[in-house]
Amino acid sequence: MPLALRDLQSAFAAQLAGEDQPGLAAEIHPAAARLRIHRHHILDSLCSALAATFPTVQAVVGADFFRGLARGFVGRSLPSQPVLAEYGEDFPAFIAGHDAARDLPYLADVARLDWALNLAFHAPAGGRLAAADLTAVPVHRLPSLRLALAPGTALICSPYPLDRIWAASQPDVPADAVDIDGGGAFLLVLRRPDDAAFVTLSAGEAAFVTGIVTGLSLEEAAGRAHSGFDLTASFGRLLALGVFAAPQ
């Protein structure tokens, strides 16, 4: 009895993900050879898409190791939408739980940085708060102002030196040895006019940005920052970087 359309589609998706479906051969003729070719093409395309989204991860572990991770991820998590730039959100978590990456505890955070840079690159370029937008706000109301981060802006906190790992992985740059235990990093990922980038924050600035993300006012967020935090200087720096969303 022929498979219902829903069952046929489910079996086809499972076959492409790597799970053989013997009953599918009766539905598509000649099925076996064609399905193998199609499966290889799909796996290759998705692995290549992941390599493009997570270039730092691939640079750190090498192409062969990365492809093994990517194939494992594809086998359990096929795209749910047609835009491949949006595929891979769960890849950092997959790496964190993968046995092959057990000796690379920093790799999942490297993947988080790559994913944040990917989101920032595809975020809208406009809608940033500028100093001129604050001229209409009375001075006494500035401390109670509540802001949101601009699209594509993300704070990545890691116990590992992600900024130095990223720098050492760049093509055509002499690779310097990175002391993985040399301290963590607070990185703010940003949308630039033509690309995405990140800047390094101090612990106080990271605590301040975290407060903003959770809905605190400028004054309240500054109170969460570490001792020695200069609200005026740090807010001015973040404002110049285009970190905050423009008021609606």
Per-residue pLDDT reduced to its tens digit, 69-119: 999 999 888 888 778 788 999 999 999 999 989 999 999 999 999 999 999
Residues of the chain above pLDDT 90, percent: 60
pLDDT score of 41:
63
Determine the Cα–Cα distance for residues 151 and 134; give it in Å rounded to an integer: 19
**CA gap 46, 186 in Å, rounded:** 31
pTM exceeds 0.85, yes or no: no
Q: What is the pLDDT of residue 40?
A: 54
What span, in angstroms and rounded, lies between the C-alpha atoms of 129 and 103? 42
Strands 196-200 and 185-191: antiparallel
Mean pLDDT of the chain: 87
Indicate the DSSP class of residue 247: P
For residue 34, the Cα-to-chain-centroid distance in whole angstroms is 35
Q: Is the pLDDT of residue 233 over 60?
A: yes
Give the tens place of pLDDT for each residue, 17-47: 767 766 665 555 455 555 554 455 678 889 9
Give the model's pLDDT for residue 8. 65
Q: Which of 185, 236, 244 is nearest to 209 (CA)?
A: 244
Peptide bond into 138 cis (omega under 30): no
**Running DSSP on this structure, what letter comes out for residue 180?**
T
Strand partners, 197: 190
Phi, psi of 214 (to 5 degrees): -85, 5
- Residue 30's pLDDT is what? 55
Closest CA to 157 of 187, 189, 201: 187
Model confidence at 149, in pLDDT bands (50, 70, 90)?
very high
More confident residue, 228 or 97: 97
Among 51-55, 107-111, 174-178, which stretch is predicted with the lowest mean pLDDT?
A: 174-178
Greatest Cα pair distance in the chain: 76
pLDDT on residue 240: 94
* Higher local confidence (pLDDT), 242 or 172: 242
